[in-house]
Amino acid sequence: MKRVSIFGATGSIGQNTIDLIARDPGAYDVVALTGSGNIAQLAADAIRLRAQVAVTAQDSLLKDLRDALASSGVAAAAGETALNEAASLPTDWVMSAIVGAAGLEPGLRALQQGADLALANKESLVCAGPLVMATARAHGAAVLPVDSEHSAVFQALVGERIETVERVILTASGGAFRDWPLERLRGATPAQAATHPNWDMGQRITIDSASMFNKALELIETKEFFQIDPFRIEAVVHPESLVHALVGFCDGGMMAHIGPSDMRHAIGYALHYPDRRNLPVERLDLVRIGALTFRAPDEERWPALRLARDVMQAGGLAGAVFNAAKERALDHFIDGRIGFMQMAEVVEATLNRVSASQGHIDAEISLDNVRHADHLGRMTADEIIRQT
Ligand code: NAD
Ligand code: MG
């Protein structure tokens, strides 16, 4: 039996992972499930999947979790330390599906005990790519991409030499505001931004899709995961969201990965890797689809793409600062304190201010330095927002 843990089990990726695992209960030994505020869901899944332990990130919810798990045989724990301890329990495969930089440390812990890490949490690579990949190498563990674009690139590269890759093209749906006139974007509300035309995802990544901060994170994720020069990584708007990514090779050929907009494909690929198994996803009818379209992204509308290139060029801890500032700008947008287009302004101003203060971005990428850069990014973004 494959021992599995799911971090961020109550979220969109976590629930899709549970859907696949629950279809084949005899094949998995579930070690840890983690969540945050949704105790009823966490407890119900932990009992159904007979997990060893369920962990909520919130200390104050320990009693609620204990009550919900009473006499079920599933242990309850709470808080950041408990999350990290759960990540250190021996397992074969860990789904990293916490949202935000909070996903980094549990993922590192899982790699340190040798588990393969299915990485939905793109922030881990954006904040600390070299550290994550080196930790995997040091412990003989694999990092398996779950982001649909990166799973697509990973699949297109099977049997290929990375030196033959000329370019990697990530597709972007364009999110909720793809066809809005630019002037209207300034007044866009969080509720409008949180509806996605093609994918059903968590609130934060859905808003990040509308602003293209999600694609910006994914460009950086591509550089870190595949070790590809930033100038070889592109984004193209593809409203149908059926081609997830394309890899262009030195002989002019391109491999495109096409599939339904259903995260269970990428999750299932990472779950069964290097095997392929039957997955409960729609089979595409190309004749009914008829046409696949592509267009250039407009960087005036989506300044996050330009910022991603700056971050890739800067390297070092710029990714951690970028992500932290983006997380705070998103919090403030959701709370109604700043407008939709101000998110990119805040992130850009934060990057400028932090990189102007010597040493913060060039330091070595250790967990302590990433934490420091993350803290600095958040404080600086908050300060900039206070001043506006
Ligand atoms: P979500 O908001 O639906 O779920 C997030 C999960 O993280 C929940 O289980 C929540 O309880 C937990 N969580 C939130 N804050 C936490 C904290 N501070 N500490 C510990 N746990 C915390 O998010 P999602 O859409 O499932 O996305 C999860 C990750 O996967 C993100 O990094 C996202 O970018 C990435 N991803 C998601 C999709 C998708 O289709 N949803 C696709 C590609 C990549
Ligand atoms: Mg993606």
The residue count for the chain: 388
Closest ligand 1 atom to 123 CA: 32
Report how far ligand 2's centroid is from the alpha carbon of 299 (Å): 19
Residue type, 80: E
* Best mutation site among 98, 121, 132, 328 for ligand 1 pocket (most ligand atoms within 8 Å of CB): 98
Ligand 1, atom 18: closest residue by C-alpha = 102
Report how far ligand 2's centroid is from the alpha carbon of 214 (Å): 7
Q: Which ligand is nearest to the CA of 222?
A: 2
Question: What b/e sequence results for 236-251 when a residue is b if at least 16 CB atoms lie within 10 Å of its CB, and e otherwise?
Answer: bbbbbbbbbbbbbbee
Ligand 1, atom 25: closest residue by C-alpha = 202
Ligand 1, atom 36: closest residue by C-alpha = 120
Closest ligand 1 atom to 263 CA: 40
Which residues 6+ apart lie within 8 Å of 213 measured at CB? 304, 326, 330, 343, 344, 347
Rg (CA), the chain: 20
Query: Positive or negative, the Cα torsion across 98, 101, 106, 110?
Result: positive
Closest ligand 1 atom to 120 CA: 30
Per-residue pLDDT of the chain (388 residues; tens, 9 = 90+): 999 999 999 999 999 999 999 999 899 999 999 999 999 999 999 999 999 999 999 999 999 999 999 999 999 999 999 999 999 999 999 999 999 999 999 999 999 999 999 999 999 999 999 999 999 999 999 999 999 999 999 999 999 999 999 999 999 999 989 999 999 999 999 999 999 888 889 999 999 999 999 999 999 999 999 999 999 999 999 999 999 999 999 999 999 999 999 999 999 999 999 999 999 999 999 999 999 999 999 999 999 999 999 999 999 999 999 999 999 999 999 999 999 999 999 999 999 999 988 677 888 999 999 999 999 999 999 999 999 8
Which domains does the chain possess?
A: 2-145 (3.40.50.720), 150-289 (no CATH), 315-387 (1.10.1740.10)
Q: Which ligand is nearest to the CA of 13?
A: 1
Q: From CA 220, how far away is CA 122, in angstroms rounded? A: 9
| pLDDT for the residue numbered 287 | 98
